[in-house]
Amino acid sequence: MGREFVEKEKIVESLNWRYAVKLYDASRKVSEADWKLLEDAMLLAPSSMGIQPYKFIVVKDPETRERLKSVSYGQTQITDASHLVVFAYKKTLTDTDAEKLIDRIAGVRGTSRESLADLEASIRSAAKKAVDGGYVETWNSRQAYIALGFLIETAAMMGIDATPMEGFDAERYNEILGLDDHAAVAVAAVGYRDAENDWLAPLPKVRKDPADLIVHV
């Protein structure tokens, strides 16, 4: 009980070390083993009902990255970071999504679909409510940001830089990546900072005064 996995000082140190890198060292690549771990972190992020209503598109192809940069205000992180992940949320939820999730639960836990009937009904109902209520896109897109957080924090713990980005033309991203039932909502550039040349690297991190952010009731 109460197992502590990681030295606490190192968590805070890594979160203070990280910043939204503007200039990546294009010559440095994240190793395959490290990248696998970062994909695991995104996979393991929680989501509402466990439905994972998104895809993570890892863009390696240099030409595609150039095209994406051209609709991202030319930000160099898009092409110069070692890896690029586009977070795309699912634009709707249907009974099929519920069905697939139940299939997966049954498979992984070795349990019958019948025993999961109540769960399936509640997932279908929540999905339908979100669609009918017009908030399914908002809801799904928010879930993607938990995974974005997991990616950024995990990278920081590993001494790997990550820049969350929203400054891009999402419609053009969808076209370039051939997305139709998903929509791009955020990007993370991942790699290694060019600390000597990035103007932001030496500047102190700015956050609100905790008293303006955290309220105790």
Pick out residues in 91-150 that bind a second copy (CB under 8 A): 101, 104-105, 108-109, 138, 141-143, 145-150
| Residue 146 C-beta-side C-alpha neighbours within 13 Å | 15
Nearest distance, CB of residue 62 and a second copy, angstroms: 11
Spatial separation of the C-alpha atoms in residues 55 and 130, rounded to whole Å: 19
Among 55, 91, 124, 172, binds a second copy (CB under 8 A): 55
- Is the Cβ of residue 95 or residue 195 nearer to a second copy in the bound state? 195
In whole angstroms, what is the distance from residue 174 CA to residue 90 CA? Answer: 12
Binding test (CB under 8 A) with a second copy, winner from 6, 112, 132, 134: 6
- CB of residue 138 vs a second copy: minimum separation in angstroms? 5
Neighbours of 114 (CB within 10 A): 8
Q: Rounded to the nearest whole angstrom, what is the least distance from the CB of residue 11 to a second copy in the complex?
A: 6
> In the complex with a second copy, which residue's Cβ is closer, 127 or 156?
156
Question: Closest Cα partner for 177 from 68, 73, 74?
Answer: 68
Residue type at position 86? V
Phi, psi of 28 (to 5 degrees): -105, 130
- Residues in the interface with a second copy (CB under 8 A) total 83
Q: Tell me which residues in 27-46 interact with a second copy (CB under 8 A).
A: 28, 34, 37, 39-46
User: Which residues, in sequence order, are CB contacts of 102 under 8 Å at separation 6+?
Assistant: 113, 116, 119, 120, 123
Q: How far is the CB of 195 from a second copy (least distance, A)?
A: 7
Q: Are 175 and 68 in contact (CB under 8 A)?
A: no
- Is the CB of 95 or the CB of 159 nearer to a second copy? 159
Rounded least distance, CB 43 to a second copy, Å: 5
Question: In whole angstroms, what is the distance from residue 98 CA to residue 121 CA?
Answer: 8
Site for a second copy in 172-211 (CB under 8 A): 177, 185-186, 192, 195, 203-210
**Contact between 166 and a second copy per CB under 8 A:** yes
Q: How many CA atoms lie within 13 A of 180 on its CB side?
A: 0
Near a second copy by CB under 8 A: residue from 24, 52, 79, 80: 52
